[in-house]
Amino acid sequence: MIDFKSGYFTMKEEDAILYAETMLNFFDAGAELSCKEIGDGNLNYVFRVVDNNTGKSIIIKQAGPVARISDEFKLSTDRNRIEYEILKLQNDLAPGLVPKVYKYDPIMSCCVMEDLSDHVIMRKALMAYNQFPRFAEDITTFMVNTLLLTSDVVMGHKEKKELVKSFINPELCEITEDLVYTEPFIDHPRNDVFPPTKAFAETALWSDKNLLLETAKLKFEFMQNAQSLLHGDLHTGSIFIREDATKVIDPEFAFYGPAGYDVGNVIANLIFAYMHADATISEAGKKEEYKAWLTATIVEIIDLFKRKFLEAWQEKATEAVSRYTGFDSFYLEGIIRDTSAVTGLELCRRVLGIAHVKDITAIPDENKRARAEKICLAAGKRFILERADIQAGADFVRVLQEVEAMLWPSVFDHFNN
């Protein structure tokens, strides 16, 4: 008989059923349980356990000892504790915007949480050209509440330092330091470059010493600036969405870092959706309408984030010097500068590095995929280099559209498609 108390092992679907039956007080005695492993991320196993009679369901998420994407990444299963604790904290800070968590099991390194199967993963929904009118409102509330309220501006400094300690996350931070800030900007053996994009990466990125220098500065900003308790991986695959609801999931990369890291990830991943729509919608009117919704959403997110951030600062700041004239705007400018830089880093790393996004890899036409990738790289480079001048929502869209206009499909591509 399997015992979940004597030591860790990686569960299979049948183990997750037994776990639900023997370790949780969730299903009725006569429940007829079935289970499917539904994880599609790079790291963990996600079991959905359902009572076939009532439809009642739950998620058991287990951290494995190595990443699913590659067993090169050996990772502490403590990330599951981080995920559980931060989801509880985020639910206090931004109620209703994360799933409810019910239990953390330090032996099995699993946590048990609300099943959100009535939502869809946002990346998939965007790739099917769906629009979400509430998203900008919800994600800016989530980001302002989780980022500002965990910073020294609002939180007592001793309490904040306790959180810095308990969310030290060295292995997952190392993944980001390597995969986001280092490898994509050199011809690194772990990169996975689409062959038609390689020459462009060599000329536009890898041979640019100034760009390398800026990425070095940004990497040290990421490692040294314990500004806010970040989600740490806030891409559209970490968001469950419905027309009337937004739920942020998967905060296992959480740690104290620069607030712009989260905001930049959101913006870059909307740009991936934009490039996917551009390459795959054939009807011109529909394409322009969908791209216009995405650019309006990018503008709204940046501008609303700034507005809500300053309002929350007025209402909630406790730090003695925080009300000196101009300090709030100075502080926010730094976050938006970092947002621009991280938008650029994320755009480059998802194209060149080991961890891709489906928005780009699922573009079936090779010429169109290569064009989308080059736009991401060229725009990414500008978001990094020009970060000091990118402050309004409209600036983000301007850079994207200027690059898009420069890399207009050639006459040759038109004849080929």
- Binding stretches for Mg ion (CB under 5 A): 41, 250
Smaller CB distance to ligand SR1: residue 67 or 254? 67
CB of 76 to ligand SR1, least distance (A): 13
Q: Which residues pair with 63 in a beta bridge?
A: 44
18 binds ligand SR1 (CB under 6 A): no
CB of 209 to ligand SR1, least distance (A): 25
> Hunting for tokens 């959100």 — which residue is that?
116
Smaller CB distance to ligand SR1: residue 74 or 414? 74
Smaller CB distance to Mg ion: residue 41 or 260? 41
Q: How many residues sit close enough to ligand SR1 to count as binding (CB under 6 A)? A: 11
CB of 357 to Mg ion, least distance (A): 12
CB of 253 to Mg ion, least distance (A): 7
| Sheet of strand 120-121, all strands in order from the earlier edge strand to the far edge | 120-121, 239-242, 245-248
Binding residue for ligand SR1, selected from 85, 105, 221, 233, defined by CB under 6 A: 233
Smaller CB distance to ligand SR1: residue 175 or 279? 175
67 binds ligand SR1 (CB under 6 A): yes
- Piece of the chain touching ligand SR1 by CB under 6 A; list 39-47, 200-208, 270-278, 397-405: 39-47
83 binds ligand SR1 (CB under 6 A): no
Scanning residues 97 to 126, which ones bind ligand SR1 (CB under 6 A)? none
CA distance 9 to 42: 19
Q: Which residues pair with 303 in a beta bridge?
A: none
Q: Which does 322 bind (CB under 5 to 8 A by kind): Mg ion, ligand SR1, none?
A: none
CB of 322 to ligand SR1, least distance (A): 32
- Piece of the chain touching ligand SR1 by CB under 6 A; list 67-75, 193-201, 287-295, 362-370: 67-75
| 148-185 core/surface letters (b: 16 or more CB in 10 A; e: else) | bbbbbbbbeeeebeebeeebebeebbebbbbbbbbbbb
42 binds ligand SR1 (CB under 6 A): yes
Smaller CB distance to Mg ion: residue 250 or 262? 250
335 binds ligand SR1 (CB under 6 A): no
- Piece of the chain touching ligand SR1 by CB under 6 A; list 40-48, 150-158, 189-197, 379-387: 40-48
Q: Which does 194 bind (CB under 5 to 8 A by kind): Mg ion, ligand SR1, none?
A: none
Residue by residue, what is the 3-state secondary structure of the chain?
CCCCCCCCCCCCHHHHHHHHHHHCCCCCCCCCEEEEECCCCCCEEEEEEEECCCCCEEEEEEECCECCCCCCCECCCCHHHHHHHHHHHHHHHCCCCCCCEEEEECCCCEEEECCCCCCEEHHHHHHCCCCCCCHHHHHHHHHHHHHHCCCCCCCCHHHHHHHHHHCCCHHHHHHHHHHCCCHHHCCCCCCCCCHHHHHHHHHHHHCCHHHHHHHHHHHHHHHHCCCEECCCCCCHHHEEEECCEEEECCCCCCCEECCHHHHHHHHHHHHHHHHHHHHHCCCHHHHHHHHHHHHHHHHHHHHHHHHHHHHHHHHHCCCHHHHCCCHHHHHHHHHHHHHHHHHHHHHHHHHHCCCCCHHHHCCCCHHHHHHHHHHHHHHHHHHHHCHHHCCCHHHHHHHHHHHHHHCCCCHHHHHHC
Q: Which does 179 bind (CB under 5 to 8 A by kind): Mg ion, ligand SR1, none?
A: ligand SR1
175 binds ligand SR1 (CB under 6 A): yes
Amino acid at 149: L
355 binds ligand SR1 (CB under 6 A): yes
CB of 297 to Mg ion, least distance (A): 22
Smaller CB distance to Mg ion: residue 114 or 319? 114
- Piece of the chain touching ligand SR1 by CB under 6 A; list 38-46, 97-105, 136-144, 145-153: 38-46
- Piece of the chain touching ligand SR1 by CB under 6 A; list 17-25, 79-87, 174-182, 210-218: 174-182
Residue showing the smallest CB distance to Mg ion in the complex = 250
Q: For binding to ligand SR1 (CB under 6 A), which residues are involved?
A: 41-43, 67, 69, 73, 175-176, 179, 233, 355
